[in-house]
Chain A
Amino acid sequence: MSTDLAIETNSSNSEKKKDGFIVETVKKLVQNKLAVIGLVIIFIQVVLAISAPFIVSYGPYEQDPTATYLGVGSEGHFLGTDNYGRDMWSRIVYGSRISLIVGVSTVAIGLLGGITLGLLAGYFKKLDAIIMRIVDLLFAFPGILLAMLIIAMLGTSLVNVVIAISIWSIPGCARIVRGSVLSVKKQEYVMALRSVGAGNTRILLKHILPNCTAPIIVFATTRMATAILSTASLSYLGLGAQPPTPEWGAMIAAGQNFMWDAPHMAVIPGVAIMLTVFAFNVVGDGLRDALDPNMNV
């Protein structure tokens, strides 16, 4: 058999073998029904948040003293109004903007810090002990308590909530990244790169990091759910967004005073939080399964 012939047959065999990494992951993800439901919810929410000014008939701060405590299904206000006559639908939609922005920015800051620390700890043995002890220290505090501590120092505002929750996201991310760096750096291609003279920065950023993306994506998705829930909790406690901001947690806090007369004021933002958190969690779980090579059956 000539060499050329052998190569020809080999390449035709391997060509139809596999799709790209992303295509394969998406294929596996859509087989998971819950994850699809989650994706749909997230998609709808993102669309609503982006197109908020165009789909509501009233502004979120617009008061109407003649139409207070309207129930669900009222004419013109299909989710009712609150004690000031503000349209609930408008407030929920604008609230989703806040939740998504806070979620995305906390996860982004958390990932930035966590990935940096995780890469350094996983790759450089000497830094490992120091960084991971700091991470352990951060882990020792219950999350909400740590966030409250930070807010107590910085003052109450939505920006400070973002900072607090970001800091609290860093240790979890650092651990996950460190773990995958430890396994990826033992791969032979890292040794091969060093043998051709590649430096540490190149190896870390161009080769190790791209191969750690799967656990990072899963972490980011589930972390979104936690971040949104924590923001709502802190705002509910009065430490985050302040009234009249249409933040869901703050809306529950305002609505609980009217629990008997107008339950929809507290229930609707509660359902919104629940749906969002549920959606991100099931998508996160779905991604975990889709990205885990051991789940291929």
Chain B
Amino acid sequence: MPTQPLLQVEDLKTYYPIKGGVLKRTKSHVKAVNEVSLEIYEGETLGVVGESGCGKSTLGRTILGLESKSGGSIQFKGNDIGSLTERQLKKYKKDMQMIFQDPFASLNPRQKIGKALEEVFVIHTTMSKKERKQRVLELLSEVGLNKEHYDRYPHEFSGGQRQRIGIARAMALNPSLVVCDEAVSALDVSVQAQIIKLLKELQAKHQLTYVFISHDLGVVRHISDRVLVMYLGTTVELGTTEQIFKNPQHPYTKALLSSIPRPIPGRKRERIKLEGDLPSASNYPTGCPFHTRCPVATEACREAKPEWREVEEGHYVACHLV
């Protein structure tokens, strides 16, 4: 693993203000992403898991600058994104792309696929019409579609095909970092497998780095080199896929892993059931954010926020009890 991370995120915060009253004053914040620090290395796939509403999508969007951050810093290829000028930022944004969750919603229904893909080149390059078309046809074949698809509208495609188009759009500018936000969650299992295979092929071919956001632990385990576990906007555990799945340390990770159904008859696993619901991110718990549902919480958990500690090489946990 190279020492210089491709992307370095420090104390990243994304807060949404809650406004109220006649004067629309900010009363409090929804802390969607709260003090997240992580490093992503070139060529790896970082899986981000957590239940719905834990801020994993917001984290991805904030990294790409689609949501504005409320605090912290993002360094991409050694440059602080916050300090860049508009023009430099456009260049960096070109290098970071996103694949969206819903392949039905992420394409303009009134635009032909070929035109939609060409638009990316219209924005970022000075290619001629012919060159653009040529490039789009190449892209289509790269993601397993063919040139007849160029003149079709999104509704003429199946979910898996649309996700291929989404991938083609993300790959169009040869980015180095791609955030896959629940990229396969809306697809059925056989199509999921095809899309994951495609993503892996593209990664090998173009030296891509993925941030793979998903709530599907099986998929994450299959595709990721390292896994980040998030809970209520904060990071609770980070490690290699093997460390997280074989030797989980944080009680939340353990509960999450125990929820994976095992299709092996006769083998019983202890299922850790969490009590209660995810607390509201607008009314943040004091101390450890997980203490309200943690089966082993102590007095200390209610009072102090646990530190982000390295328990073995490359394996970080935020828990008082580890």
Chain A contacts to B: CB under 8 angstroms: 1, 3-4, 6-7, 10-11, 13-15, 17-18, 20-21, 187-189, 191-199, 202, 206-207, 210-211
Contacts and interface: CB of A to CB of B under 8 A. Distances in A.
B199 to A, nearest CB: 13
B147 interface: no
7 contacts: A14-B157, A187-B105, A188-B102, A195-B97, A196-B97, A198-B119, A207-B111
A17 B156 contact: yes
A189 B191 contact: no
Contact of B155 (A6, A18, A202, A206): A18
Contacts of B124: 196-197
Interface in B136-172: 144-145, 149, 153, 155-158, 160-161, 166, 169-170, 172
B283 interface: no
B106 interface: yes
Contacts of B101: 188
A196 B96 CA distance: 9
B190 interface: yes
Nearest to A15: B156
Contact of B190 (A4, A6, A192, A193): A6
Interface string B90-132: 1001100110111001111111000000011001100000000
Contact of A196 (B123, B145, B194): B123
Contacts of B158: 10-11, 13-14
Nearest to B194: A3
B169 A6 contact: no
Leading 5 A-B pairs by shortest Cβ distance: A10-B158, A188-B105, A188-B106, A195-B98, A192-B106
B100 A188 contact: yes
B229 interface: no
Given A18-B156, A196-B97, 15 more contacts: A6-B160, A6-B190, A10-B157, A11-B156, A11-B161, A13-B158, A20-B153, A188-B102, A188-B106, A192-B100, A197-B94, A197-B120, A197-B124, A198-B119, A199-B123
A14 B93 CA distance: 34
Contacts of A17: 155-156
Given A189-B108, A196-B169, A198-B119, A4 B157 contact: no
A191 B191 CA distance: 24
Interface of B: 61, 64, 66, 90, 93-94, 97-98, 100-102, 105-111, 119-120, 123-124, 144-145, 149, 153, 155-158, 160-161, 166, 169-170, 172-173, 190-191, 194, 197-198
Contacts of A193: 108, 119
A17 B153 CA distance: 12
B123 A198 contact: yes
A197 B106 contact: no
Contact of A211 (B100, B108, B172, B194): B108
Given A4-B144, A18-B155, A189-B105, A195 B110 contact: no
A15 B151 CA distance: 13
Contacts of A6: 160, 190-191, 194
Nearest to A196: B120
